[in-house]
Amino acid sequence: MRKKTFAVAALLAAATLTLSACGSGDSGSSPVAVVSEDGKQQAATVLDQPFPKPDLVLTDTQGKSYDLRKETAGHPTLIYFGYTNCPDVCPLTMNNIAVAKKQLTQAEQDELRVVFVTTDPDRDTPAALGKWLKGIDPQVVGLTGKFATIQAAARTLGISVEAPHKDKNGKIVSTHGTQVVAFSPKTDGGYLLYGEDADVDDYTKDLPKILKGANP
Amino acid sequence: MRRVTPAGPVRLLAVPTAVITGAVLLLTGCGSDSDGRAELSVRAAYIPQPVSDTMAAGFLTIVNKGGTKDELTSVTSTAAGSVTLHETVGSSMEEVTSLDVPAHGQLVFKSGGNHLMFEKLKSKPVQGGTVTVELHFAASDPVEVEMPVESATYNPKTGH
């Protein structure tokens, strides 16, 4: 029975696709989404085994040493690994979080720690990070340091990032993490994962829960 | 993770025939008697307002109603020093020199997938504005597109 209904959904999706392929320029929503919208599921993946917070000391946008465990202990914390020369996913992820955060009370916003760790430390100096994050949310903590240190910390959260390298045209290719990890203020454990398709609405809905260390 | 889930499970069993009919009807309505040429149109174009002053991503869908494939070979814009085509591979992006627009299919640029990368922008695109680009193809004539600048968090699935 389940299989059959899924096939129906696929047919529906295919039919809508065909339909929109005929339509002209109206910048309507992507048709496949109509189907997923109906059964919109939880954006967060709840981990049975939370990740310990990485033992990470890096440099913040002021050029000061920042001890992640010390600074974020007992605070609801979101961590993302990305880089500022990234036009698509990195700014979208950070803006999604920033816009959702603004819907909290000021006290809640002050309680929350949003940490952006660069995966491109050579280009993302404290100043470059600071400038970029100011355009998103000045409360976000931007961290830079040795790539090997950053990569090792990311790995403890199941996030794999590669060192920036040059492509055949000499352009620098960097990688970003594909997940945002949310840490509970109660346990300091990383208990929720958000993928790239988590949008403002998802974070808006979930942040009040994360503030309490609750499951969304 | 999110999954595509059918909405009302059991009762939908009678639907497929109706759906197929509807789709086929509309297909014929489109007139698909192309004589071996690509027929291109563009939809769902947008640029999320960037954080950076000089760099932005752009997204659009190129629909090909024709029976022959074409290739997007370059994108130009007077608003930017360079516009390049990128594919996202894993969690890094790779510049590509061309992308196929399949026959009776579409080339989709979307967040997390293919994107246009604007560099050396002359001014920062601001929500409510537009950026004009010209798409160049291997066979078809160039297509000019006015890409609206949306909010930094715009999600085409929800339209906001």
For residue B111, give the nearest of A18, A43, A89 by CB distance: A89
Please state the three-class secondary structure of chain A as a single string: CHHHHHHHHHHHHHHHHHHHHHCCCCCCCCHHHHHHHHCCCCCEEEEEEEECCCCCEEECCCCCEEEHHHHHCCCCEEEEEECCCCCCHHHHHHHHHHHHHCCCCHHHHHHCEEEEEECCCCCCCHHHHHHHHHCCCCCCEEEECCHHHHHHHHHHCCCCCCCCEECCCCCEECECCCCEEEECCCCCCEEEEECCCCCHHHHHHHHHHHHHCCCC
- Residue A14: pLDDT band with limits 50, 70, 90: very low
Q: How far apart are alpha carbons B146 and B133 in whole angstroms? A: 6
B92, B124, B144: best mutation site toward chain A, by most A Cβ within 10 Å? B92
Tens of pLDDT along A65-84?
Answer: 999 999 999 999 999 999 99
**Å between B40 CA and nearest CA of chain A:** 10
Chain B, residues 19-48, CB within 8 A of chain A, namely 19-20, 22-23, 26-27, 29-30, 41-46, 48
- Global pTM? 0.78
Residue B24 near residue B59, CB atoms below 8 Å: no
Give pLDDT, residue B50: 96
Mean pLDDT of A2-21: 43
Check if the interface score ipTM surpasses 0.85.
Answer: no
Crossing angle of helices A31-38 and A2-22, rounded to 10°: 150
Residue B99 near residue B138, CB atoms below 8 Å: no
Residue ranges of chain B whose pLDDT lies below 70: 1-35
Q: How far apart are alpha carbons B150 and B60 in whole angstroms? A: 13
Average pLDDT, chain A: 86
Residue B118 near residue B131, CB atoms below 8 Å: yes
Give pLDDT, residue B35: 59
For residue B158, give the nearest of A89, A167, A199 by CB distance: A199
